[in-house]
Structure 1
Amino acid sequence: MNELVLNKRLNKTANEVKQKRREGKVPGVVYGKKLGSLMFEIGEMELVEELSKSGEHGVLRFDLDGYNGTAIIKEVQKDPISHKVMHIDLKEVSRYGELQTEVPIKFQGKEFLSKKGIVIQNQKDSVKVSCTAQNIPKAIMLDVSNAKLGSVYKLSDLEVGSEISIIDNLSTVFASVVTRQFIATENSDEE
């Protein structure tokens, strides 16, 4: 986990923020018990590199004008067309204290399902967990390469280490295996 250098931001007008974005800076806010709420800016390239490593719900270390801390990424706002990061919200956390956060659920082996003419239908794409900041996974993986038509996956099917607790109801169904035609029919019924 690298340390990101955040620069305190004093400008508050929309024009000043737009100018900073044109200069390759991303505005953000970090908040916490010790810090209160502080506005900052960070280089877009640095931020994108860190997001690719830690994920959009990950944990990062930061230096804000000499103040060193650890924060969880609470929200990343992106432009809907260019997908560029427009704003980021961070919440300061203790590195070793327990916290609750959402972690994305990712599927391995989807390509084997498409060869069989079946697909995964997601009802939920993340799960709420409790763990220390240093143990937050980038994602929780589920191998679906051996799934069969009609298979149903519950949160209890997810495998996590002993240092991570799933907070959501373990009997919640988050995905099922259906035919491609089912998805097409379901989408046409909604129109």
Structure 2
Amino acid sequence: MATQASKLAVTVRTEKGKGAARRARREGKVPAVLYGHGTDPQHLSLPALEFAAILRANGVNAVVDLDIDGSSQLALTKQVDVHPIRNYIEHADLLVIRRGEKVTVEVYVVVEGEAAPGTLVTQDASTVEIEADALSIPEQITVDVEGVEAGNAVHASDLALPEGVTLISDPDTLIVAINAAPSSSELEEEAEEASAETPGTDEAAE
């Protein structure tokens, strides 16, 4: 959990459009838009390597202290678009925030531990929505299933949240279910049923 914003010197973009964005990326910059609190959207260029390092260290909800032409502005990372193949950051949306302000964000839920033998652990939800101080957003929330027996479940209301963090998601949201693992005979029966339901090649040819 970050307790202070990461400093990042950025520049104002005067050019807009896809061509300008491509040029910025070739120069090692990330095109970004800063908005919120009734301000006009501001188009920025972020240093790609530094911004990526901040996200690795602080998670997707990283708070940055932007240096814009010598002026400081706190911002929350709201969205990051990553190239699906080359894995570089294509664009970022940043939200203007104020120190001490509460923000609503989604955080990842991570399952840890080994449930009881003979069980199958299924994670139904990978994120939950919370409200927290902008500088106290947890990077993730952990669910410990160590030794948990079949027939148990973890709902959003069961999550152990850090002090000062409030759950916004529906408390009844299913996060993790621990069920009895199917036996080998059950798996064989399912495979046989699936095979019987699949038309033969001769049938398909007809």
Matching of residues 1-191 of structure 1 within 5 Å? 1-33=5-37, 35-109=39-113, 112-113=114-115, 116=117, 118-178=119-179, 179=181
CA 1:21–1:155 in structure 2 vs 1: closer, same or farther (change >3 Å)? same
- Distance, in Å, in 2 between the alignment partners of 1:60 and 1:46 is 11
- Distance, in Å, in 2 between the alignment partners of 1:121 and 1:2 is 36
2:85 alignment partner AA: I
Count of residue pairs the alignment pairs up: 181
- Distance, in Å, in 2 between the alignment partners of 1:167 and 1:146 is 29
Bigger radius of gyration among the two: 2
- Distance, in Å, in 1 between the alignment partners of 2:118 and 2:32 is 44
1:63 alignment partner AA: D
Q: CA deviation at 1:117?
A: 6.4
Q: Is the 8 A contact 2:36 2:96 kept in 1?
A: yes
- Distance, in Å, in 1 between the alignment partners of 2:182 and 2:109 is 21
Secondary structure of 1:75's match? strand
- TM-score, normalised via structure 1 length: 0.84
- Distance, in Å, in 2 between the alignment partners of 1:20 and 1:117 is 53
Q: CA deviation at 1:32?
A: 2.0
Unaligned runs of 5+ in 1: none
Q: CA deviation at 1:29?
A: 0.6
1:91 alignment partner AA: L
Unaligned runs of 5+ in 2: 195-206
